[in-house]
Amino acid sequence: MATTWIKALHGSGGIASALDLRIDYATNNDKTNDGELIMAWGCEPETAQSEFLLSKKLYERNTGRNQGKRDVIAYHIRMSFKPGEVTAAHALMLGKDLAFRWTKGKHQFIVAAHTNTNNPHCHIIYNSTNIDCNGKYQDFKRSAIALRRLSDQICLEHGLSIIEKPGLSKGYNRAEHIGENKPPTVRDNLRDLIDNTIKIGMFHSQFIEAMQKSGCEVKQGKNLSFKLPDGKKFIRLNSLGEDYSESAIMERLSGRRVVTPKQKTAPIKNENSPNLLIDIQEKMAQGKGAGYEHWANTYNLKESAKTLIFLEENKALCYDDLIEKEQAAAKRFREMTNRIKEIEPRLKEITELQKQIGTYRKTREVYKQYITLSGKKQERFYNEHYSEIALHKAAKKHFDSLGYSPQNKLPKIDELKQEYAVLLAEKNKLYSEYKQAKRDMTDWHKAKYNADRIFGRDEKCVPKKSHYRDER
């Protein structure tokens, strides 16, 4: 599950050396697939140190402020994820999303995803000075908590897990605090199964037998443990809470303890969305027992019914209709994905062009002075203003590569901002519909797979639900 922290970087040991140390660590080639897992905003990864320093010089010149050794030169954020949940490339995109939302695009930043540990994580370093060089980032009380909440929000948007109990107080559940519905855990499922199995008047042996018939494996010893069907490990009863210890179970069976199951919030997903049927023969060949076979048969019956309800609700009662709707859902998802892929490179191109135009204008006067000098004066001036001159030349080179002439053909910043805003709005709208389109495509794929299993590929029509009631 994602964890996030933030740290201020002070220039007490020298601004340049402090920046170099942090940025060199974040962009280490051995940890970023030779630099492939690095991206930046408002600067270039290769020249981030120089561009950060230039912004600070311009800030001092514009405002006359200099805090010396007490100055915060940058902020360092680390965002890590649960092993196996995301790839390094996905971690990089999530890190960029966090950095952009946190800085609101007003500060230069660099993001690097690392692959040197078992858990994917990324480092974000953003400049304390804003892009306009007329203000600085204002830290605030409990900013680390606000950052963690933003990180949790991003993870939830992408279906990733978050820390349930961050340790702010005993029993504190962050998922409940921010009002998000999380899917039930394995322990939640085991508690539900126990609640549904227990009947007052049962003997202990009858309770064990009923749990086995539900598909659970049982391990009796010092501690009674159960393993759910397809579960990875046994779970001890005394780890489920005070109402689920072995002594509490005995009290509940005798009626001396009454437990009222907690009401659950309805899931966001449509209850009639089908899940894939289990290939029971294949599972039995893998060594599953009779308890699992009983559970799997019950599961397949329920999912078959859900598939029929799904098809009836969506008016796909003929196999040809099912094929048509599945293909339409897949086509819609592909079209949205392709459009997003078209928009993102253009947004990146506009961002880079805006940055280079801004850099060109900021460094233009310094470069004019530089080309008017000669000999040792020019050499001294170059050494004093190396960053500005290098950035100015890089901007001119970028314009040349795009076929622009800085004198009369550069696009206006306002026009670029307007185009960027229009494209970004379209992208955000597509993203809001993208998840639903993906769910729809997945549901139709599952429905077709299940229909093929239930009726066979030669079956052309799905009988109506009422027809099945009459035949029962």
* Domains, the chain: 3-177 (3.30.930.30), 186-266 (no CATH), 284-472 (1.10.287)
Mean pLDDT of 439-445: 89
| Mean pLDDT taken over the chain | 79
Least confidently predicted of 4-18, 282-296, 343-357: 4-18
Q: Is the pLDDT of residue 7 over 50?
A: yes
Give the Cα-Cα-Cα angle 428, 432, 434 (nearest 5 degrees): 105
Give the Cα separation of 471 and 145 in Å (integer).
60
Q: Comparing C-alpha atoms, which of 49, 2, 54, 1 is closest to residue 25?
A: 49
Q: Is the pLDDT of residue 463 over 50?
A: no
Least confidently predicted of 42-56, 145-159, 177-191: 177-191
For every residue of 283-326, DSSP letters joined together read HHHTT--HHHHHHHHHHHHHHHHHHHHHHHHTT--BHHHHHHHH
pLDDT score recorded for residue 118 = 73
pLDDT score recorded for residue 169 = 37
Mean pLDDT of 279-308: 84
User: Tokens representing 321?
Assistant: 């209709």
Mean pLDDT of 71-75: 85
Q: Reduce the DSSP state of residue 245 to 3 states and report it.
A: coil
Sorted by sequence, the CB contacts under 8 Å of residue 439 that are 6+ apart come out as 269, 273
pLDDT score recorded for residue 180 = 41
Give the Cα separation of 151 and 144 in Å (integer).
10
Least confidently predicted of 182-186, 202-206, 330-334, 336-340: 182-186
Listed in sequence order, the DSSP H helices in 163-203 are 174-177, 186-197
Mean pLDDT of 181-200: 78
Mean pLDDT of 352-372: 88
Residue 91 CB: number of other CB atoms within 10 A?
25
Q: Is the pLDDT of residue 19 over 70?
A: no
CA of 471: how far to CAs of 54, 313, 319, 453, in Å? 80, 21, 21, 21
pLDDT band at 15 (very low <50, low <70, confident <90, very high): low
Give the Cα separation of 86 and 119 in Å (integer).
9
pLDDT score recorded for residue 461 = 44
391, containing H or E segment: helix 386-402
The predicted model scores a pTM of: 0.38
Cα 82 from chain centroid (whole Å): 11
Q: What are phi and psi of 352, to 5 degrees?
A: -65, -40
pLDDT score recorded for residue 271 = 57
Residue 197 CB: number of other CB atoms within 10 A?
18
